[in-house]
A and B are shown apart, each in its own frame.
Chain A
Amino acid sequence: MRNVFSCFFLFILCVYGHFSSESGNLFFENCLSTAFNSPEVDNQIESCVNLQEKLINSKIKMKNHEKLCVIYNQDKSCKIVKKKFSIDQFIVKIILPECGKENGDQQNCDQLISSLGSYTEFMEIAKNLKGYKINDTLLDCERRTKNKKICSYLE
């Protein structure tokens, strides 16, 4: 009896969660760096409004280690980039420009860095890039990141 009641209670909570929380769509609010192969979506700038629908309808097929990055700008526009990113390329091509801008959006920068959460060692490197200026020398980069390979992408 108690278990039946618990299941019912959870069901009610799910209905409540479905209708009351918009946070579920946070999934699409930040830059995604996941592995997808998307024949239909290729280096184009799209409005984000129907992105979720578009992605579902297109039945994007995943292929390992190809990454689709959806970059959201402050004006709600977004950029879909399909690239064979490696994590360190992701740091330099996506994170560094955001975190190294003169008036960069610190919150966005932090979110990008935290998206590396599963890769602790890379996240430490990305953290060190905070405050890095685009015009800094290669030596500055190496000093901060202690990683020559990542800095070599700057050349």
Chain B
Amino acid sequence: MKYINLLRSKGFTCSYFFALILAFLYIDTFAPGAFLNIHPRFEIFNELLNNPNPQGFIPAIHRITWKIILKFSNNLSIPFIVYSGILIFSLHSILSKSNKSELVKSIGLIVLLIIPTFFLYTLQLYKDVQFAALMMLAYSIALSRPDKENTIFAILLMACFYRVHALPLNLLVMVCLVLKNGMSKLQVIMRAVSFVIFYLLVSNALSSFLPRDNTSTHKTILPIFDLNGIAAHSEHHLDNPFVLDKNRNLLTHAQNIEIYNPKRADLWFMQDEIIIDVGHENYSELRDLWGRSILQNPIAYLKHRFKVATNFIFPVESDYISFVNHDKRLKESSFFSPILNWYYELIEVDSVINVSQKLFLYILLMFINILLMFILREKIKSADIVFLLHSVAFLGSFFFAASVVKFKYCIWFVWLTLVLFFRLLLMVNYRIKVK
């Protein structure tokens, strides 16, 4: 009894040991995850080869962890184990911060893991999924810290996860963190400025340790896409000297409409039909043209952006998730495989995947979370507000910066919304007081 009490005092609860067993079974059944898609291999290969030409859009923290992991082993099981382990322990930690029984917390963890968007995406070696797993870790750490430290921690977190370019996205969160009752205007300004400087210092310091991106592709995707979108929605012709046809002529209005695809920003995939003539040397000209075109054609720009956003929120089709190798492994495995095989077939047959990949469901859930947070305002922590604001800011920025319509880009927003919902649900006191 003495030892049990000692363990409890160190945080070793029943639900923790349950999470431990679950993590082992889960990892043993699914390692090394499903990674048949092109992109994860592309990213891993890139890091594996110590490539001096890394992709600029991959967050710093993601690339650092890849590098460290691949230094020790080239086996793709290891990244899978690290990220799924982090995810399971973080989920447990988030859910355990409630006064519900150990059984309820354990059931909550299982229910969360079998929600199709969790179940299917945890198995993918996408950078977005790993990013989401690290976000869960950050949330769980933030919850376990005293509220005073949360502010600095949140800034550090944002600096690590995003590059300097994401500063506008995080400003909203920063402003909310900075504002407190009873502060003078000067204090608010001083604090806001010091946070921005701190953010820039951390994110720049992180970037300086990493190899630089020598290509300009990631910077040019959005301007080229928006220019094409504006041209396709504008009533008059717009010249874009950066995108040419095969004969190196400027695209006509009809050609702009033909190549425009609101679901896909990456016009490089049309390289058989068009030439994209942009590099480091003329990037600033492209940026100027982009800004000018938006200001001169605001309606066309908003129409184009609205079309992209609509495709994200009400997608016609879901991401395809490959399970070819994964199926083979499931048949070979023993303990979990029959149940999981059955579940996998069930969700596929019933098209649960399609239904669960509608972003508007999670936007609705986000509003429910806001309502629940208002009801439970006495119990919630500032970390809950920070992460909720973060997801709201993310959604807002998506309207202006979204490019390729893929559900995986929203996965951390989806997971954060679901986890927050479960956390709030476990905080609600269901007992009805009888007078």
Contact = CB atoms under 8 A, between A and B. Distances in A.
Contact of A86 (B45, B74, B264, B269): B269
Interface in A17-44: 17-18, 21, 23-27, 30, 32-36
Interface of B: 10-12, 16, 20, 23-24, 27, 31-32, 35-39, 41-42, 44-46, 48-53, 72-78, 80-82, 85-86, 89, 215, 217, 263-264, 268-272, 317, 319-322, 324-325, 329, 406
B172 to A, nearest CB: 31
Given A2-B10, A18-B75, A64-B217, A27 B44 contact: yes
A30 B82 CA distance: 24
A149 B271 CA distance: 13
A27 B35 contact: yes
**Interface bracket on A:** 35 or more
A120 B317 contact: yes
A84 B272 CA distance: 10
Contact of B46 (A18, A30, A62, A111): A62
A110 B38 CA distance: 14
Nearest to A13: B81
A15 B167 CA distance: 38
Given A61-B53, A87-B269, A120-B319, A14 B82 contact: yes
Nearest to B38: A118
A51 interface: no
B36 A115 contact: yes
Contacts of A2: 10-12, 16
Contact of B38 (A18, A86, A115, A149): A115
B12 A118 contact: no
B74 A52 contact: yes
A56 B47 CA distance: 11
28 contacts: A1-B10, A1-B12, A2-B16, A6-B85, A9-B85, A10-B82, A10-B85, A14-B73, A17-B78, A17-B81, A18-B77, A21-B31, A21-B32, A24-B32, A24-B74, A26-B35, A27-B41, A27-B45, A35-B42, A56-B49, A59-B49, A61-B52, A62-B46, A86-B270, A111-B36, A115-B37, A119-B269, A149-B272
B31 A86 contact: no
Contacts of A121: 263-264
Which of B23, B48, B81 counts the most A-chain CB atoms under 10 A from its CB?
B81
A117 interface: yes
Interface string A46-63: 000000100110011111
Interface in A128-149: 149
Nearest to A34: B42
Given A26-B325, A115-B36, A117-B37, A63 B53 contact: yes
A48 B246 CA distance: 38
Contacts of A24: 32, 73-78
Contacts of B42: 34-35
Chain A contact residues, majority secondary structure: helix
Contacts of B320: 114, 117, 120, 123
Contacts of A123: 320
Which of A10, A23, A149 counts the most B-chain CB atoms under 10 A from its CB?
A23
Nearest to A116: B38
A60 B10 CA distance: 49
A65 interface: yes
A149 B148 CA distance: 60
Contacts of A59: 49-51
A23 B325 contact: yes
A13 B39 CA distance: 26
Contacts of B217: 64
A33 B381 CA distance: 47
Contacts of A88: 272
A34 B77 contact: no
Contacts of B73: 14, 18, 24
A64 B268 contact: yes
A114 B16 CA distance: 37
Contact of A13 (B27, B263, B272, B322): B27
Contacts of A1: 10-12
Contacts of B52: 61
Contacts of A65: 268, 271
B45 to A, nearest CB: 6
A3 B85 CA distance: 12
Given A13-B85, A27-B41, A34-B38, A86 B271 contact: yes
Contact of B76 (A23, A36, A86): A23
Nearest to B86: A10
Interface in A95-126: 107, 110-111, 114-121, 123
Contacts of B72: 14, 18
B329 A23 contact: yes
B127 to A, nearest CB: 12
A21 B41 contact: no
A27 B24 CA distance: 23
A23 B77 contact: yes
A34 B37 CA distance: 10
A9 B268 CA distance: 44
